[in-house]
Amino acid sequence: MATAATVPTRRKRAGAGTGSGLPRWVFLPAVVGGVFIVLPLIAMLARVQWSSFLGLITSESSVAALWLSLKTSTASTVLCVLLGTPMALVLARARFPGLRLARSLVLLPLVLPPVVGGIALIYTYGRQGLLGSSLEFLGLRIAFSTTAVVIAQTFVALPFLVLSLEGSLRTAGRRYEAVAATLGANPTTVLRRVTIPLVLPGLLSGAVLAFARALGEFGATLTFAGSLQGTTRTLPLEIYLQRETDPDAAVALSLVLVVVAVLIVLATRGRASEGSL
């Protein structure tokens, strides 16, 4: 009788805690990981000087940095969409030798330390660089300009858009495209009226991710574009600079970036669930 009584109890206990079918010990490291991410944000929030908060984030240098960050991140997101969409299309749809190698190379900025990316950009577009001398000849000086900021941000953000869009293209498959072709649509019409509308959620979330990456870009920007107020000093650079002289301002500006990041995450999650087929 004792066994008959314990069996249902045990079953009930196993089901009551989780309902997910996971072993219960998994929840412990999961919670530790969650705390690991959230705790620093709370710690930072605790240090915000709310009385001077508004003054700190509206100072001339802060506003200049924020404005520059938004401008350059928007510009690089547009560039990412214009260049990344065709790249994702080729990677997802075309078949040619070396495709796998091409995909790995495209994703390189994702794993490269940003400072290394910055150095690579210097030797490409810098005054002595591969293209830099030709550009100089044309009267274009890129290094240490706002253009350099946009280039650095595009360089690091592009893989995010390509990855996200390529995934959407693969998920969407080619069946609708085949139908459209047999209905008499030429490849450009198929792309414009079928492929792009179908992967629009993926394109949007890719663009938002690219924007977020561009907004947070630090290493490549500092290396390649420098830190000139109003020209190349974006918000992350401003925060790093302020940290030495005015920690309260650094914390306040960090909070601004956190808020922007949270908004972006919420936006992508919303889009992603909407777009799921």
Partner 1 sequence: MTKPQQSVRTVGALELQTTLEERGTDLDLRVRPGEVVAVLGANGAGKSTLLSLISGLIRPDTGRITLDGQVLVDIDRRVWVPAHQRGVVLLAQQALLFPHLTAAANVAFGPRSKGSSRRDAQAEAVRWLEAVDAVEFADRRPAQLSGGQAQRIAIARALAVDPALLLLDEPMSALDIAVAPALRQLLRKVLRDTGRTALLVTHDLIDALSLADRVVVLDAGRVVEDGPTRTVLSQPRSAFAARIAGVNLIAGTAEQHGLLTQDGTRLQGMLDPTCVIGQHAVAVFSPAAVAVHLTPPTGSPRNHLPVTVAELEARGEIIRVHAAGTVGGPGDLIADITAASAAGLELVPGKSVHFAVKATEVQIYPSRIV
Residues making contact with partner 1 (CB under 8 A) = 175-176, 178-187, 189-190, 193-194, 197-198, 200, 277
Question: In the complex, what is the shortest distance from the CB of residue 93 to partner 1, in angstroms, rounded to a whole number?
Answer: 14
The distance of closest approach from Cβ of residue 186 to partner 1 in the complex, given in angstroms and rounded to an integer, is 5
Query: Residues of 197-228 as b/e, b for ≥16 C-beta within 10 angstroms?
Result: ebbebbbbbbbbbbbbbbbbbbbbbbbbbbbe
DSSP state of 184: T
CA distances from 20 to 17, 28, 34, 109 (A): 9, 15, 18, 37
The CB-of-90 to partner 1 minimum distance in angstroms stands at 18
Residue (119 or 181) nearer to partner 1, CB: 181
The least distance separating partner 1 from the CB of residue 128, rounded to whole angstroms, comes to 48
Q: What's the half-sphere exposure (Cβ side, CA atoms, 13 Å) at 221?
A: 30
- Name the CA radius of gyration of the chain, rounded: 24
Nearer to partner 1, 193 or 269 (CB): 193
The nearer residue to partner 1, 176 or 240, going by C-beta atoms, is 176
CB of 163 to partner 1, least distance (A): 23
Nearer to partner 1, 43 or 94 (CB): 94
Among 68, 61, 119, which Cα is nearest to 231's?
68
Does the CA dihedral 203-205-210-211 come out positive or negative?
Answer: positive
Closest CA to 146 of 81, 227, 241, 62: 227
Query: CB of residue 30 vs partner 1: minimum separation in angstroms?
Result: 35
- Record the tokens describing residue 271, joined without a space: 């889009």
Report the residue number, 194 or 255, with the smaller CB distance to partner 1.
Answer: 194
Measured between alpha carbons, how far is 23 from 204 in angstroms, rounded to an integer?
36
Distances in Å between the Cα of 209 and the Cα atoms of 123, 154, 268 are 27, 12, 8
Q: Which is nearer to partner 1, 128 or 189 (CB)?
A: 189
- Whole-angstrom CA distances from 104 to 56, 109, 246 are 43, 10, 42
Q: Which one, 91 or 180, has the nearer CB to partner 1?
A: 180
- Least CB distance from residue 75 to partner 1, whole Å? 29
Closest contact distance (angstroms) between CB of 276 and partner 1 is: 12
Nearer to partner 1, 206 or 236 (CB): 206
The answer to whether residues 264 and 208 touch, using CB atoms and an 8 Å cutoff, is yes
